[in-house]
Amino acid sequence: MISQELNDMITRVGPGTDAGAVLRRYWQPAALSDELMQGTPVPVNLLGERLALVPDGDGWMLRTRMADASEPAAHHPKTIVIDPSGPTYPVRDHKGVVFSYLGPGDPPAHPPFDCFRAPDTHVFAFKGLWRCNWLQALEIGIDPAHASFLHRFLEDEDPADSYGKQFRDKAAHTDMPMTQVLRDYPRPKIDVAETDYGLRITALRHMENDLTHVRITNQIFPEAICIPMSREMTITQWHVPVDDETCYWYTIFTSFGAPVDKDLMREQRLNEHRLPDYAPLKNRENNYHYDPAEQASLTYTGMGMDINVHDQWAVEGMGAIQDRTQEHLGRSDMAIIRYRRMLRKAIADVAAGREEALPMQSDLSALVGPLSNDAIAPTSDWANASHVADMARRASCPWDASV
| AA identity, residue 42 | V
pLDDT tens for residues 4-30? 999 999 999 999 999 999 999 999 999
Domain hosting residue 363, numbered range? 4-19+110-395
Per-residue pLDDT at 68 exceeds 80: no
* β-strand partners of 203: 190, 215
pLDDT tens for residues 334-377? 999 999 999 999 999 999 999 999 999 877 877 888 999 888 88
How distant is the alpha carbon of residue 293 from its chain centre?
31
Q: What is the mean pLDDT of residues 175-182?
A: 77
- Cis peptide preceding 112, ω within 30 of 0: no
3 state SS for 327-339 = CCCCHHHHHHHHH
Q: Tell me how crowded residue 387 is: count the other CB atoms within 10 A of its CB.
A: 14
The last residue of a domain, from among 64, 80, 107: 107
Whole-angstrom distance, CA of residue 216 vs CA of residue 291: 33
For residue 57, the domain's CATH number is: 2.20.25.680
Q: Please provide the size of the chain in residues.
A: 403
The last residue of a domain, from among 62, 83, 107: 107
**10 and 64, same structural domain?**
no
**164 and 77, same structural domain?**
no
Residue 206 resides in a domain: yes
Structural domain count, the chain: 2
Whole-angstrom distance, CA of residue 324 vs CA of residue 344: 15
pTM over 0.85: yes
Residue 400 resides in a domain: no
How distant is the alpha carbon of residue 385 from its chain centre?
25
**301 and 185, same structural domain?**
yes
**384 and 366, same structural domain?**
yes
**285 and 231, same structural domain?**
yes
Residue 138 resides in a domain: yes
The last residue of a domain, from among 107, 136, 157: 107
Residue 298 resides in a domain: yes
> How would residue 183 be classed by pLDDT, with cut points 50, 70 and 90?
confident
